Structure 1
Amino acid sequence: MKITIESDPGAQVRDLIDQGLDIFNEAKAGPLQASELWVIARDDEGAAKAGLKARTYFGWLHIDWLWVSPEARGSGVGSALLSAAEAEARARGCIGAHLETYSFQAPDFYERHGYQRFGQIEDYPPGHSCIWLKKRF
Protein backbone atom coordinates (compact mmCIF):
# COMPACT_ATOMS: atom_id res chain seq x y z
CA MET A 1 0.00 0.00 0.00
CA LYS A 2 1.04 3.56 -0.62
CA ILE A 3 0.71 5.99 2.34
CA THR A 4 -0.15 9.60 1.49
CA ILE A 5 -0.61 12.78 3.49
CA GLU A 6 -3.71 14.65 2.33
CA SER A 7 -5.35 17.81 3.60
CA ASP A 8 -8.58 17.08 1.71
CA PRO A 9 -9.10 13.45 0.67
CA GLY A 10 -12.56 14.21 -0.70
CA ALA A 11 -16.05 13.49 0.56
CA GLN A 12 -16.14 9.89 -0.68
CA VAL A 13 -12.97 8.91 1.22
CA ARG A 14 -14.06 10.80 4.37
CA ASP A 15 -17.43 9.04 4.27
CA LEU A 16 -15.79 5.64 3.74
CA ILE A 17 -13.53 6.11 6.78
CA ASP A 18 -16.32 7.60 8.95
CA GLN A 19 -18.74 4.81 8.09
CA GLY A 20 -16.09 2.13 8.50
CA LEU A 21 -15.24 3.39 11.99
CA ASP A 22 -18.93 3.67 12.92
CA ILE A 23 -19.55 0.07 11.82
CA PHE A 24 -16.58 -1.16 13.87
CA ASN A 25 -17.56 0.87 16.94
CA GLU A 26 -21.20 -0.24 16.83
CA ALA A 27 -20.14 -3.88 16.53
CA LYS A 28 -18.17 -3.48 19.77
CA ALA A 29 -20.25 -0.97 21.78
CA GLY A 30 -23.79 -1.12 20.41
CA PRO A 31 -25.80 1.45 18.46
CA LEU A 32 -24.09 4.82 18.11
CA GLN A 33 -27.39 6.72 17.90
CA ALA A 34 -25.44 9.83 16.88
CA SER A 35 -27.29 13.10 16.49
CA GLU A 36 -26.12 16.69 16.25
CA LEU A 37 -27.33 19.23 18.76
CA TRP A 38 -27.19 22.99 18.24
CA VAL A 39 -28.42 25.49 20.84
CA ILE A 40 -28.49 29.09 19.57
CA ALA A 41 -29.17 32.36 21.43
CA ARG A 42 -30.58 35.09 19.19
CA ASP A 43 -31.32 38.75 19.85
CA ASP A 44 -34.70 40.39 19.16
CA GLU A 45 -33.74 40.86 15.49
CA GLY A 46 -32.87 37.17 15.12
CA ALA A 47 -29.10 37.60 14.98
CA ALA A 48 -27.11 34.80 16.61
CA LYS A 49 -25.24 36.11 19.66
CA ALA A 50 -24.15 32.81 21.21
CA GLY A 51 -24.23 29.14 20.40
CA LEU A 52 -23.37 25.64 21.53
CA LYS A 53 -22.51 22.83 19.11
CA ALA A 54 -22.63 19.27 20.39
CA ARG A 55 -23.40 15.68 19.48
CA THR A 56 -25.08 12.91 21.39
CA TYR A 57 -23.84 9.36 20.92
CA PHE A 58 -23.32 6.21 22.98
CA GLY A 59 -25.57 7.73 25.65
CA TRP A 60 -23.43 10.82 26.26
CA LEU A 61 -23.44 14.46 25.21
CA HIS A 62 -20.16 15.64 23.70
CA ILE A 63 -19.88 19.42 23.63
CA ASP A 64 -17.75 20.48 20.69
CA TRP A 65 -17.82 24.19 21.53
CA LEU A 66 -19.71 26.94 23.28
CA TRP A 67 -19.30 30.52 22.08
CA VAL A 68 -20.74 33.76 23.46
CA SER A 69 -20.28 37.04 21.58
CA PRO A 70 -18.38 39.75 23.48
CA GLU A 71 -21.51 41.88 23.93
CA ALA A 72 -23.42 38.95 25.47
CA ARG A 73 -20.71 37.72 27.85
CA GLY A 74 -21.57 37.96 31.52
CA SER A 75 -25.31 37.96 30.83
CA GLY A 76 -25.92 34.32 31.78
CA VAL A 77 -26.51 33.23 28.21
CA GLY A 78 -23.64 30.72 28.35
CA SER A 79 -25.21 29.05 31.37
CA ALA A 80 -28.59 29.05 29.62
CA LEU A 81 -27.10 27.39 26.52
CA LEU A 82 -25.38 24.74 28.62
CA SER A 83 -28.52 24.06 30.64
CA ALA A 84 -30.62 23.72 27.47
CA ALA A 85 -28.10 21.32 25.90
CA GLU A 86 -27.99 19.19 29.04
CA ALA A 87 -31.81 19.09 29.22
CA GLU A 88 -32.02 17.97 25.58
CA ALA A 89 -29.30 15.36 26.19
CA ARG A 90 -31.30 13.96 29.11
CA ALA A 91 -34.41 13.89 26.90
CA ARG A 92 -32.34 11.87 24.38
CA GLY A 93 -31.47 9.40 27.14
CA CYS A 94 -27.92 10.56 27.84
CA ILE A 95 -26.31 9.81 31.21
CA GLY A 96 -23.71 12.56 31.13
CA ALA A 97 -21.71 15.13 29.19
CA HIS A 98 -18.05 15.64 28.38
CA LEU A 99 -15.92 18.24 26.63
CA GLU A 100 -12.46 19.65 26.23
CA THR A 101 -11.49 23.25 26.77
CA TYR A 102 -8.30 25.24 27.17
CA SER A 103 -7.02 26.90 30.32
CA PHE A 104 -7.49 30.32 28.67
CA GLN A 105 -11.10 29.51 27.78
CA ALA A 106 -13.67 28.36 30.32
CA PRO A 107 -12.67 25.50 32.65
CA ASP A 108 -13.92 27.42 35.70
CA PHE A 109 -17.26 28.05 33.99
CA TYR A 110 -17.81 24.33 33.47
CA GLU A 111 -16.65 23.45 36.98
CA ARG A 112 -19.21 25.91 38.39
CA HIS A 113 -21.81 23.90 36.48
CA GLY A 114 -20.80 20.59 38.07
CA TYR A 115 -18.18 19.36 35.60
CA GLN A 116 -15.09 17.59 36.92
CA ARG A 117 -11.63 17.48 35.38
CA PHE A 118 -10.48 14.05 34.32
CA GLY A 119 -7.50 14.86 32.15
CA GLN A 120 -5.09 17.62 31.24
CA ILE A 121 -2.16 18.16 28.87
CA GLU A 122 0.30 20.90 29.78
CA ASP A 123 1.76 23.20 27.12
CA TYR A 124 -1.08 22.48 24.69
CA PRO A 125 -0.96 25.10 23.30
CA PRO A 126 2.43 26.28 24.60
CA GLY A 127 2.01 28.16 27.87
CA HIS A 128 -1.53 26.81 28.40
CA SER A 129 -3.30 23.50 29.05
CA CYS A 130 -5.92 21.42 27.31
CA ILE A 131 -8.43 20.21 29.91
CA TRP A 132 -11.04 17.43 29.70
CA LEU A 133 -14.15 17.67 31.85
CA LYS A 134 -17.17 15.45 32.44
CA LYS A 135 -20.46 15.51 34.29
CA ARG A 136 -22.84 12.67 35.06
CA PHE A 137 -26.49 13.62 35.10
Structure 2
Amino acid sequence: MTDDSITLSLTDASDSADAASILNGLKRYNEAASGRAPDRRDVTIVARDADGTLLGGLAGYTQWDWLYVDQLWIAEGGRRGGVGSRLLAAAEAEGLARGCRWSRLYTYDFQAPDFYPRHGYEVWAELDGYPEGHKQIWFRKTLG
Protein backbone atom coordinates (compact mmCIF):
# COMPACT_ATOMS: atom_id res chain seq x y z
CA MET A 1 0.00 0.00 0.00
CA THR A 2 1.37 3.43 -0.88
CA ASP A 3 0.62 6.79 0.64
CA ASP A 4 -1.25 7.92 -2.48
CA SER A 5 -3.59 4.91 -2.27
CA ILE A 6 -4.82 5.91 1.21
CA THR A 7 -7.62 8.41 1.71
CA LEU A 8 -8.13 10.01 5.09
CA SER A 9 -11.43 11.56 6.11
CA LEU A 10 -11.88 13.74 9.17
CA THR A 11 -15.17 14.60 10.82
CA ASP A 12 -16.42 15.84 14.14
CA ALA A 13 -19.50 13.59 13.90
CA SER A 14 -18.38 10.01 13.42
CA ASP A 15 -20.34 7.51 11.39
CA SER A 16 -21.70 4.93 13.81
CA ALA A 17 -20.73 2.02 11.55
CA ASP A 18 -17.15 3.32 11.31
CA ALA A 19 -16.99 3.89 15.07
CA ALA A 20 -18.26 0.35 15.71
CA SER A 21 -15.69 -1.09 13.27
CA ILE A 22 -12.87 0.78 14.98
CA LEU A 23 -13.99 -0.37 18.43
CA ASN A 24 -14.45 -3.98 17.33
CA GLY A 25 -11.04 -4.03 15.65
CA LEU A 26 -9.42 -2.67 18.80
CA LYS A 27 -11.25 -5.24 20.97
CA ARG A 28 -10.03 -8.12 18.76
CA TYR A 29 -6.46 -6.80 18.85
CA ASN A 30 -6.52 -6.28 22.63
CA GLU A 31 -7.90 -9.75 23.24
CA ALA A 32 -5.22 -11.35 21.08
CA ALA A 33 -2.43 -9.27 22.65
CA SER A 34 -3.56 -9.57 26.28
CA GLY A 35 -4.95 -13.07 26.19
CA ARG A 36 -8.07 -11.77 27.92
CA ALA A 37 -11.49 -11.16 26.44
CA PRO A 38 -12.77 -7.61 26.81
CA ASP A 39 -15.22 -7.89 29.71
CA ARG A 40 -16.19 -4.23 29.88
CA ARG A 41 -19.48 -3.53 31.69
CA ASP A 42 -20.85 -0.07 32.31
CA VAL A 43 -21.86 1.03 35.80
CA THR A 44 -24.11 4.02 36.50
CA ILE A 45 -25.35 5.01 39.95
CA VAL A 46 -27.66 7.97 40.59
CA ALA A 47 -28.71 9.63 43.83
CA ARG A 48 -32.13 11.25 44.17
CA ASP A 49 -33.92 12.90 47.05
CA ALA A 50 -37.37 11.86 48.30
CA ASP A 51 -39.00 14.03 45.61
CA GLY A 52 -37.01 12.35 42.85
CA THR A 53 -34.71 15.31 42.23
CA LEU A 54 -31.29 14.27 40.93
CA LEU A 55 -28.65 14.96 43.57
CA GLY A 56 -25.71 13.48 41.70
CA GLY A 57 -24.37 10.45 39.97
CA LEU A 58 -21.44 8.30 39.01
CA ALA A 59 -20.72 6.74 35.63
CA GLY A 60 -17.92 4.39 34.73
CA TYR A 61 -17.19 0.80 33.87
CA THR A 62 -15.42 -2.34 34.96
CA GLN A 63 -12.92 -4.23 32.85
CA TRP A 64 -9.99 -6.56 33.44
CA ASP A 65 -10.12 -6.49 37.26
CA TRP A 66 -10.43 -2.68 37.35
CA LEU A 67 -13.21 -0.28 38.22
CA TYR A 68 -12.88 2.93 36.23
CA VAL A 69 -14.80 5.94 37.57
CA ASP A 70 -15.27 8.15 34.55
CA GLN A 71 -17.62 10.78 35.97
CA LEU A 72 -18.69 11.71 39.48
CA TRP A 73 -20.93 14.74 39.85
CA ILE A 74 -22.86 16.17 42.78
CA ALA A 75 -25.44 18.94 42.31
CA GLU A 76 -24.72 22.36 43.76
CA GLY A 77 -26.00 22.44 47.32
CA GLY A 78 -25.54 18.70 47.77
CA ARG A 79 -21.77 18.77 48.02
CA ARG A 80 -20.11 17.97 51.34
CA GLY A 81 -23.22 16.11 52.47
CA GLY A 82 -21.96 12.57 51.95
CA VAL A 83 -23.64 11.90 48.59
CA GLY A 84 -20.33 11.62 46.76
CA SER A 85 -18.95 9.26 49.38
CA ARG A 86 -22.03 7.05 49.10
CA LEU A 87 -21.84 6.98 45.30
CA LEU A 88 -18.14 6.11 45.34
CA ALA A 89 -18.65 3.38 47.96
CA ALA A 90 -21.51 1.90 45.94
CA ALA A 91 -19.35 1.85 42.80
CA GLU A 92 -16.49 0.19 44.66
CA ALA A 93 -18.86 -2.42 46.10
CA GLU A 94 -20.16 -3.16 42.60
CA GLY A 95 -16.59 -3.35 41.33
CA LEU A 96 -15.75 -5.90 44.02
CA ALA A 97 -18.90 -7.87 43.18
CA ARG A 98 -17.69 -7.99 39.57
CA GLY A 99 -14.26 -9.25 40.61
CA CYS A 100 -12.35 -5.96 40.44
CA ARG A 101 -9.22 -5.65 42.52
CA TRP A 102 -8.42 -2.00 41.80
CA SER A 103 -10.08 1.30 40.98
CA ARG A 104 -8.79 4.24 38.94
CA LEU A 105 -10.06 7.68 38.06
CA TYR A 106 -8.94 11.19 37.37
CA THR A 107 -10.00 14.64 38.48
CA TYR A 108 -8.72 18.17 38.03
CA ASP A 109 -7.15 20.50 40.56
CA PHE A 110 -10.30 22.67 40.37
CA GLN A 111 -12.66 19.75 41.04
CA ALA A 112 -12.19 17.40 44.01
CA PRO A 113 -8.54 16.41 44.40
CA ASP A 114 -8.83 16.23 48.21
CA PHE A 115 -11.94 14.03 48.15
CA TYR A 116 -10.30 10.89 46.77
CA PRO A 117 -7.38 10.52 49.23
CA ARG A 118 -9.95 10.61 52.05
CA HIS A 119 -11.40 7.47 50.45
CA GLY A 120 -8.11 5.59 50.16
CA TYR A 121 -7.01 6.73 46.69
CA GLU A 122 -3.42 7.65 45.92
CA VAL A 123 -2.05 9.86 43.17
CA TRP A 124 -0.17 7.95 40.48
CA ALA A 125 0.12 10.62 37.77
CA GLU A 126 -0.34 14.34 37.20
CA LEU A 127 -0.61 16.15 33.90
CA ASP A 128 0.32 19.82 34.24
CA GLY A 129 -1.20 22.29 31.81
CA TYR A 130 -4.39 20.32 31.20
CA PRO A 131 -6.24 22.59 30.88
CA GLU A 132 -3.84 25.49 30.74
CA GLY A 133 -3.15 26.83 34.21
CA HIS A 134 -4.42 23.63 35.85
CA LYS A 135 -3.62 19.95 36.07
CA GLN A 136 -5.33 16.61 35.65
CA ILE A 137 -4.69 14.24 38.56
CA TRP A 138 -4.94 10.44 38.25
CA PHE A 139 -5.75 8.30 41.29
CA ARG A 140 -5.81 4.56 42.01
CA LYS A 141 -6.89 2.36 44.88
CA THR A 142 -6.64 -1.29 45.81
CA LEU A 143 -10.15 -2.56 46.50
CA GLY A 144 -11.05 -4.95 49.28
Shared fold (TM-score, shorter chain, > 0.5):
yes
Question: Which consecutive unaligned segments of at least 5 residues does structure 1 have?
Answer: none
Aligned to 1:3, which of 5, 8, 26? 8
Aligned to 1:32, which of 24, 27, 38? 38
State the one-letter code of the partner of 1:14: A
Equivalent residue runs for 1:47-86 within 5 Å = 47-86=53-92
> What TM-score, normalized to structure 1?
0.96
Question: Which consecutive unaligned segments of at least 5 residues does structure 2 have?
Answer: 1-5
Q: Is residue 2:103 matched to residue 1:102?
A: no
The structure that has the greater radius of gyration is 2
Q: Is residue 2:22 matched to residue 1:13?
A: no
The superposition leaves residues 77-130 of structure 1 with CA deviations (integer Å, 9 ceiling, x where unpaired) of 000000000000000000110011111111110111111111111111111101
Shift of 1:48: 1.5
Shift of 1:46: 1.6
- Number of the residue aligned with 2:3: none
CA–CA separation in structure 1 for the residues paired with 2:74 and 2:21: 35
SS of 1:108's equivalent?
coil
- Structure 1's consecutive aligned runs of 4 or more residues displaced over 4 angstroms after TM superposition are none
Q: Is residue 2:129 matched to residue 1:123?
A: yes
SS of 1:130's equivalent?
strand
State the one-letter code of the partner of 2:109: S
> What TM-score, normalized to structure 2?
0.92
The superposition leaves residues 18-50 of structure 1 with CA deviations (integer Å, 9 ceiling, x where unpaired) of 111111111122022110000110111222210
State the one-letter code of the partner of 2:54: A
Aligned to 2:52, which of 46, 60, 83? 46
CA–CA separation in structure 1 for the residues paired with 2:119 and 2:58: 15
Aligned to 1:90, which of 82, 87, 96? 96
Aligned residues between the structures: 137
